[in-house]
C-alpha cells in the first residue's frame, strides 16, 4: 500500500517579470510637438521670430525625455530623440536668421553714415554755358545752377547718408561750341556725355553711389 503525501504539491511559481517602464512619455512627446512647430515657423521670414521659444522648449523637453528613457521612466525613446533633432535644427535656423538680420541692420547703418564725394566736370570749346547739377539723398538733396563764361569748370559735392544719385547738364549758348560733361563718384567715373552746336545740351544723369 502506497503512502499518500498529506501535503498536496503546487506548481512552481512563474518567474517574476521585469517592471514595465512607467508611462512618463509626456516630456518627449511635448518636446517633439513644440520642436516640429518651431521648425516649421523658423523657415518663414519675420514670422520665424516666434519660433525661438518653441524650439528652445522643444529642445529642453526632448533632452529631459531622453533622460527619462535612460532611467527607465519612459518608453518613447525614438520620439524624444526626434524632439531633440527637430528642435536643434529649428534653433540653428533661428540663429542664422538673427545673423542675417544683424548684417542687414549693420549694412543699413553703414549706408546711413556713408560719405560720398561727387565730382562734376565740364570741358570743351564752348563759352557762356549754363551748368545745372544736383544730388539726391536722404535729407541732403540739392540743386544748383551756374552761368560759366569759360571752360573747363568743375565742382565737388560731398553728401552724407544714403546717396541716391544726381544729375549734371550743360547747355551751350548762342555762340555754340562743344561741351562734355563728366561725373565721378568716389573716384570712379560714372557717366559722361558730349554735345555741340548752338543751344545744345549734354546730360549726365542716372548715376548713383
Going from the N-terminus, what domains does the chain have, and what CATH number goes with each? 26-111 (no CATH), 115-207 (2.60.40)
Higher pLDDT among residues 160 and 156, named by residue: 156
Higher pLDDT among residues 11 and 43, named by residue: 43
Whether 199 contacts 153, CB under 8 Å: no
Model pLDDT, residue 46? 73
* Farthest-apart Cα atoms in the chain, separation: 156
pLDDT in tens, 78-136: 999 999 999 999 999 988 888 888 888 777 777 666 778 889 999 999 999 999 998 88
CA–CA distance from 59 to each of 24, 38, 82, 167, 191 (Å)?
17, 10, 10, 57, 56
Model pLDDT, residue 65? 92
Instruction: State the average pLDDT over residues 173-182.
Output: 92
How many residues are present in the chain?
209
Cell of 165: 544719385
Residue 140's pLDDT band (cuts 50, 70, 90): low
| For residue 152, cis peptide bond before it (omega within 30 degrees of 0) | yes
> Is residue 170 over pLDDT 60?
yes
Supply the DSSP symbol for 166.
E
Instruction: State the average pLDDT over residues 6-15.
Output: 56
Task: HSE, CB side, 13 Å, CA atoms: give it for residue 152.
Answer: 9
Q: Which of 68-77, 108-117, 164-173, 194-203 has the lowest mean pLDDT?
A: 108-117
Rounded CA separation 72/21 (Å): 5
Rounded CA separation 185/188 (Å): 5
CA torsion angle for 59, 64, 70, 73 (degrees, to 10)?
-140
> Is residue 209 over pLDDT 70?
no
Cell numbers 563718384 correspond to: 185
| Segments in 20-50 forming alpha helices (H) | 26-42
Cell of 19: 517592471
Model pLDDT, residue 92? 92
pLDDT in tens, 21-78: 456 888 999 999 999 999 998 888 777 777 889 999 999 999 999 999 999 888 999 9
> Is residue 9 over pLDDT 70?
no
Q: What is the pTM of this model?
A: 0.50
Amino acid at each position: 500500500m502506497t503512502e499518500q503525501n498529506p501535503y498536496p504539491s503546487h506548481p512552481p511559481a512563474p518567474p517574476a517579470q521585469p517592471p514595465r517602464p512607467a508611462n512618463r512619455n509626456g516630456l518627449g512627446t511635448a518636446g517633439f510637438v513644440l520642436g516640429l512647430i518651431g521648425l516649421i515657423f523658423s523657415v518663414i521670414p519675420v514670422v520665424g521670430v516666434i519660433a525661438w521659444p518653441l524650439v528652445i522648449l522643444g529642445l529642453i523637453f526632448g533632452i529631459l525625455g531622453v533622460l527619462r528613457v535612460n532611467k527607465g521612466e519612459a518608453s518613447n525613446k525614438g520620439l524624444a530623440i526626434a524632439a531633440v533633432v527637430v528642435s536643434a535644427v529649428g534653433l540653428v535656423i533661428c540663429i542664422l536668421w538673427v545673423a542675417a538680420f544683424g548684417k542687414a541692420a549693420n549694412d543699413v547703418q553703414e549706408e546711413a553714415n556713408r560719405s560720398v564725394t561727387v565730382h562734376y566736370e565740364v570741358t570743351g570749346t564752348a563759352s557762356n554755358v549754363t551748368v545745372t547739377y544736383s544730388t539726391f539723398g536722404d535729407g541732403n538733396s540739392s540743386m544748383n545752377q551756374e552761368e560759366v563764361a569759360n571752360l573747363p569748370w568743375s565742382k565737388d559735392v560731398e553728401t552724407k547718408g544714403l546717396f541716391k544719385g544726381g544729375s549734371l547738364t550743360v547747355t551751350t549758348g548762342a555762340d555754340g561750341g562743344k561741351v562734355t560733361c563728366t561725373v565721378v563718384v568716389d573716384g570712379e567715373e560714372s557717366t559722361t556725355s558730349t554735345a555741340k552746336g548752338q543751344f545744345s545740351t549734354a546730360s549726365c544723369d542716372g548715376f548713383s553711389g
